[in-house]
Every structure is written in C-alpha cells, then in structure tokens.
C-alpha cells in the first residue's frame, strides 16, 4: 500500500511564526505536491516537485516555499505565517504528475 | 484558462437513492479525467477516464466520459451512509492536475 504521511494532523501557530509542514512518501515517487483546501475553493496547488531539488510553482505559491532534499520527503515552509494561511494542507505523490495522486491525511493549520 | 466545474455543490439524499454528480471541463490537450472521494481526510482515488463512452465501474459506483460535450458523470446507485463524502474531479492541465470545487454528498439513513 502506498503511504503518504504528514508530520502533524493539527497545528496552531501565531502570526509571524515560521512554520514547517513535512510530508514523506514510501513509494519512490518522483513527483510530490502540496495543496491547500478551503471551503468553496476546492484543492489548489501551492508547489510541486518533480525531482530532488527541483520545484515548480503551482497556482498559489505566494507566502510559501518548499524544500526537497531527499526523494521521499517534501517540506512546505511558511516563512511568516499569516491568518489567511489558516487552511487544510494536503500533500500528495505520484509516479506521473497527471496520473493518480496518493494523498496524505492532511494538516489542519490554524494561524492566530 | 483551464477550468473544471462540478455540480451540484452539495446534495442530500436518503439511503437507497441513486445520485448523479457532474464534472465539466475546459482544458487544452485533454488527456484524462480523474474522480476522487474525500471523507474526513485524504482524497482517495476512484476512477481515471480517458476514452469517451466507456463506462468504468466499481461496485455501486460508475463513471463515464463525454469528450465531445466535455463532461463526465459519476453515478452512485443504492446509496449508503458510507457514501457521504466530498467527490472531486480533476483534469491534467499542463504538468499538474486542476481540481474542481467538489460536490458534497450527504446520505441520510
């Protein structure tokens, strides 16, 4: 079974804090993705990575950065958290970026 | 701009009912359409459709694609409370997936 894990299920941070969200997959997938999901807006792609140290901006990269130092691990960084970054964050991986993606359980981040 | 639109936004039915969920799309160089089910947490994959008119089926769920009219439907027959979820469709656009906003289905006992 493909497994995608995320470091936290729930996280509460203060405005201005630096936030790290980690994602690990065990299927040797080249491609990894970070989405945020908000009511009425669906899933929106923040960043994706198609190889170690390679990344591409998605639809809403502003205020976020990513790091992929190892194939199995993809981190999302909020340099200075703001209240409008309160959301559900989902990580996914896939063998091909346009095929079936396997999702992690999500991290619900609240920024106060 | 690539676009994926799902309807209805939400739906409430009773157990045993049949439901039809819709997904329409406008993308350049269409390749496939994917359906996911999302309960409390991670979306789980249901179907990938690439050819018009060929039904994909898994138990009580089935889906079909119409590439001429640019839409897909997801049918659920004899619904159960366990079918309550958000159903998402997605289409590859460039080298990423574009997701629709989802349809929230609630099945009452």
pLDDT computed for residue A2 by the predictor: 65
d(CA A15, nearest CA chain B) in Å: 25
- Region B4-32: mean pLDDT is 94
Residue A89 to residues A9, A39, B12, B14, Cα–Cα distance (Å): 9, 12, 27, 31
Which chain A residues are Cβ-neighbours of B45 within 8 angstroms?
100-102
- Region B12-41: mean pLDDT is 93
The yes-or-no verdict on residue A40 having pLDDT over 80 is no
d(CA B19, nearest CA chain A) in Å: 21
Instruction: Give the integer Cα–Cα distance in Å for B43 and B46.
Output: 9
The yes-or-no verdict on residue A99 having pLDDT over 90 is no
The yes-or-no verdict on residue A24 having pLDDT over 80 is yes
Residue B9: phi, psi to the nearest 5? Answer: -70, -40
**Mean pLDDT, all residues of chain A:** 93
pLDDT computed for residue B40 by the predictor: 80
Q: Do B96 and A102 touch (CB under 8 A)?
A: no
| Residue appearing with tokens 């690439």 | B50
């Amino acid at each position: 079974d493909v497994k995608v894990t995320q470091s936290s299920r729930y996280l509460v941070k203060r405005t201005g804090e630096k936030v790290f969200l980690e994602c690990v997959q065990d299927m040797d997938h080249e491609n990894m993705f970070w989405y945020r999901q908000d009511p009425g807006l669906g899933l929106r792609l923040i960043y994706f990575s198609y190889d170690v140290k390679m990344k591409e901006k998605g639809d809403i990269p502003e205020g976020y950065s990513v790091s992929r130092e190892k194939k199995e691990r993809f981190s999302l960084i909020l340099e200075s958290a703001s209240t409008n970054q309160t959301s559900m964050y989902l990580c996914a991986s896939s063998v091909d970026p346009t095929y079936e993606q396997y999702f992690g359980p999500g991290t619900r981040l609240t920024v106060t | 701009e690539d676009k994926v639109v799902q309807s209805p936004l939400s739906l409430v039915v009773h157990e045993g009912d049949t439901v039809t969920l819709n997904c329409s799309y406008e993308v350049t160089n269409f390749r496939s359409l994917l359906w996911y089910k999302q309960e409390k947490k991670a979306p789980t994959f249901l179907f990938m459709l690439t050819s018009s008119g060929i039904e994909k089926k898994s138990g009580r769920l089935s889906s079909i694609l119409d590439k001429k009219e640019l839409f897909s439907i997801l049918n659920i027959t004899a619904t159960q409370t366990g079918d309550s979820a958000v159903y998402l469709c997605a289409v590859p656009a460039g080298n990423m997936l574009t997701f629709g906003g989802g349809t929230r289905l609630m099945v009452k006992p």
